[in-house]
Chain A
Amino acid sequence: MTITATTVALDSVVEAGDGALVSVPAGGRLRIVDLHGNQAVDTLFYDAHDIDNRYSAFDTIREQRAVFLTTGSRLISTRLDELAVITDDTCGRHDTVGGACSQESNVIRYGEFTRHQHACRQTFLRYGAQAGIGQRQLTHNINFFMNVPVTSTGGLTFEDGLSAPGKYVEVTASRDLFALISNCPQVNNPCNGWDPTPIQLLGWW
């Protein structure tokens, strides 16, 4: 990576289980680096000037006629605007069907003992608040680096990641955006290789 210090607008590490709210201006590039491999990064995008115009997982899937996200995927909003485009991807594919973990869905999937474990939707609410993003504004997110195979027989599973240390994905904003990020703390399934690890955020704008 040969980028001079002056062009780097963002360079920060997000610890496992922590999150971030990042303002990305139109044309800005946001790179998420999976520092240690197999780490799910739950991400939502909002039009920074109107948060009701937000990322729509299922409109994005329909418009590209494919379930998995990768380079070239246009991230579409509920109003069918293009919020961003995935412009680089060294992992290969990313999920947008599996949603974010929550304390409540953990109880359903794994049992009552998970009720008070930290979860992505706690992080979304905590970091989203400063942009007016509350429960009604949370929607179905992208899980960068997560492997959720969907099959022709209509099956869906969570499997070991395809990612590895240093793999990254980069999105270019098509308009001014908020990126709401939760570095997933889940320890009850293989989405984080059973061991959540830090990620790096890099931004150029």
Chain B
Amino acid sequence: MNHEIPGDAAWSVPVRAGRTVTLTALADGANATVLIIGADRLDRLNIPDTLKSQMSARIKPGMVLMSDRGLALATVIASTLDWHDCLTGALPDRLLLLELTKHGFGEADLHGCIHFFSKVAVADDPRASLAYVPDHAHAGDTVTLRADQDLLIFVSTAPHALSDGPAAGVAVQLESPSHVEDPVLREEAVRALRLTRELIA
């Protein structure tokens, strides 16, 4: 299935384990803020655990997105960009909250999210100062995730909180490939995938 989310909108979609989700920027400067909730409808994407177990301050291909309780939610299989911001939060977003509410969730479930297609550069100064990079994503840029358990994925196309550019649309394509090879992963990510496959996938 293929769905185009216009700019400044929100959408949610269930994704079965094994399926892939490809997000495509429909204009320069697009942003897709994504929250993920796992199969048991409680276990959320945990950005700090995802980052510290893979020694990264950004989301890039070859990373497993990990849950609060140490399971693999999804694997970043491929992307035309090697930096997706996850450090700068989203402004309160009424439409995203409504999508959560549709599935029985609420404000308490808001957690760190990924801002696909956005980059906020980190300076090597004493505070690790941040600066939004305005020319990072271009129309046609993509990122593909493989669901490693049954997921609910929430997407907001509100502009990045540090951007002063216009909102842009994002296309979401769901596919059911027979098998998706694991990318090269760190040992921690392999462990999360193995546990997830043993327990629930």
Interface residues of chain A, those whose CB is within 8 Å of chain B, are: 52, 56-59, 61-62, 65-68, 70, 78-80, 93, 97-100, 102-105, 107-109, 111, 135-140, 148-152, 154-158
Contacts and interface: CB of A to CB of B under 8 A. Distances in A.
Most buried by A among B58, B66, B69, B128: B128
Given A61-B130, A135-B68, 9 more contacts: A58-B88, A68-B128, A93-B126, A150-B57, A150-B122, A152-B121, A154-B57, A154-B58, A158-B52
Interface of B: 42, 46-49, 51-53, 55-58, 60, 66, 68-71, 83, 86-89, 91-92, 106-112, 121-124, 126-131, 161-162, 188, 191-192, 195
Contacts of A109: 52-53, 188
A104 B109 contact: no
12 contacts: A67-B130, A70-B127, A80-B92, A98-B52, A99-B47, A105-B49, A105-B52, A107-B195, A136-B108, A139-B111, A156-B51, A157-B55
A154 B60 contact: yes
B38 to A, nearest CB: 12
A104 B128 CA distance: 29
B87 to A, nearest CB: 6
B56 A154 contact: yes
Contacts of B46: 99, 105, 140
Nearest to A138: B68
Contacts of B55: 155-157
B56 A156 contact: yes
Nearest to A52: B107
Given A62-B89, A80-B92, A156-B52, A108 B68 contact: no
Given A99-B49, A140-B47, A108 B70 contact: yes
A152 B70 contact: no
B111 A140 contact: yes
Most buried by B among A65, A103, A158: A65
Most buried by B among A80, A93, A97, A157: A97
A108 B188 contact: yes
Contacts of B128: 66-68, 149-150
Contacts of B68: 102, 104, 135, 138
Contacts of B162: 62
B192 A58 contact: no
Nearest to B161: A62
B122 A154 contact: yes
Contacts of A65: 129-131
Given A61-B130, A104-B69, A78 B110 contact: yes
Nearest to B70: A104
Contact of B112 (A80, A140, A155, A158): A140
Nearest to A156: B57
A158 B49 CA distance: 12
Nearest to A189: B52
Contacts of A140: 46-48, 111-112
Contacts of B70: 102-105, 107-108
Most buried by A among B70, B71, B192: B70
Contacts of B83: 154
Contact of A66 (B91, B108, B129): B129
A47 to B, nearest CB: 12
